[in-house]
């Protein structure tokens, strides 16, 4: 009985983990998670391994009302980096802020009263929290995609989100219904990244 149950749970876990794939934010449309699904997704982040229980990750939801602020930042930063950017490119940069019904900024806090916990561990915790978010979104029937880029790491971004001194942006996470997507890519063979010591 117990082994049957564990077989079906491991089958579900396998299906959940391997069916997750990056979906471009352009292909993620409304509806996004409702309030209870949002909570479910965020609670999944809280189950990440977390040495010292310090919760080094943070997720900022970019609200509908704030998207234009992020859009302006994407556009301004492109103009600053590339004075030859065309109006189309600038508009494309701005539109990135409006893709997908749920847009989150994930950060890691490398500060705090957790002097004993090395920053590598905090970064790993934050990465695990992000993966839990992606997997729970997948379990609830949503697609997800991570995005980054030069603007993400800019000082302007830190100011916009009022990040703390030792808080680093990691990536944006977009979640929504999958409009279209390309079929699953080949995953690396486990033998290519394992060996015996
Ligand atoms: C922190 C982080 C940021 C990423 N940023 C981007 C990005 O800006 N654009 C992009 O196409 N892929 C980005 N990726 C990669 C995709 O999320 C995805 O992992 C990759 O395309 C492989 O696809 P898969 O997740 O379906 O295996 C990022 C991945 C990570 C971990």
Ligand 1 close to Cβ of residue 147 (< 6 A): yes
- Summarize the confidence of residues 40-66 as an average pLDDT: 97
Residue among 148, 187, 188 to mutate when testing ligand 1 (max atoms within 8 A of CB): 148
The CATH code of the domain at 30-65+99-180 is 3.40.109.10
Q: pLDDT-based confidence at 185, cuts 50/70/90?
A: confident
Q: What's residue 12's pLDDT?
A: 96
Domain residues of the chain, as ranges?
30-65+99-180
Residue among 24, 147, 169, 188 to mutate when testing ligand 1 (max atoms within 8 A of CB): 147
DSSP three-state, residue 110: coil
Structure tokens at 40: 């479910």
pTM score, two decimals?
Answer: 0.95
CA 162 to CA 165: how far, in whole Å?
A: 9
Q: pLDDT-based confidence at 72, cuts 50/70/90?
A: very high
């Amino acid at each position: 009985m117990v082994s049957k149950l564990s077989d079906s749970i491991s089958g579900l876990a396998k299906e959940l983990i391997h069916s997750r794939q990056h979906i471009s934010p352009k292909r993620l449309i409304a509806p996004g998670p409702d309030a209870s699904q949002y909570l479910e997704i965020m609670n999944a982040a809280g189950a990440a391994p977390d040495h010292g229980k310090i919760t080094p990750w943070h997720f900022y939801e970019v609200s509908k009302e704030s998207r234009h602020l992020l859009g302006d930042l994407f556009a301004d930063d492109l103009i600053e980096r590339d004075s030859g950017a065309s109006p189309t490119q600038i508009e494309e940069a701005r539109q990135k802020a409006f893709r997908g019904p749920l847009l989150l900024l994930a950060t890691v806090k490398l500060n705090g009263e957790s002097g004993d916990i090395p920053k590598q561990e905090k970064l790993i915790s934050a990465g695990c929290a992000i993966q839990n978010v992606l997997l729970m979104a997948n379990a609830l029937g949503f697609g997800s995609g991570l995005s980054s880029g030069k603007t993400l790491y800019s000082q302007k971004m830190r100011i916009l989100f009022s990040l703390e001194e030792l808080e680093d942006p990691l990536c944006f996470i977009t979640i929504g219904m999958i409009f279209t997507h390309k079929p699953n890519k080949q995953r690396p063979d486990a033998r290519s990244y394992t060996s015996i010591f």
